[in-house]
Amino acid sequence: VKAVLRRSRRAERASEGGGVKLDEAGHRATIGGSDLNLTAVEFQLLKVLVDHPGRIYTRDQLIDAMYRDERVVSDRTVDSHIKKIRRKISAVLPDREVVHSVYGLGYKYES
């Protein structure tokens, strides 16, 4: 029983960083009180970045985090998802950029 309760508490956990709030149980991301309407892959990608602000992730690391199976995915797929996430955030907060490109390395989240 205790193990089940621990698991349910973990599932209800919400991540928060720089105004972005992630509800893992509901698979919802909000910023400034507005729902971002992310796809499952976009949510997983943003979660990885928000959970470790300032950490730089390569495209390969982000692909591994987004896709748990052995599918073959182009590294430019990450760029496409990042672009969509940025667009959804800028629709709510046009003057703020929280997902940054690090030239030659990858991406990082900063609040």
Give the end-to-end CA distance of the chain in Å, rounded to a whole number. 38
pLDDT in tens, the chain (111 residues): 556 555 544 444 455 555 789 999 999 999 988 999 999 999 999 999 999 999 999 999 999 888 877 777 887 899 999 999 999 999 998 888 899 999 999 999 997
- pLDDT score, position 75: 79
Distance between CA atoms of residues 54 and 110, nearest Å? 6
User: Model's pTM, two decimal places?
Assistant: 0.80
Domains of the chain (ranges; CATH) run 2-109 (1.10.10.10)
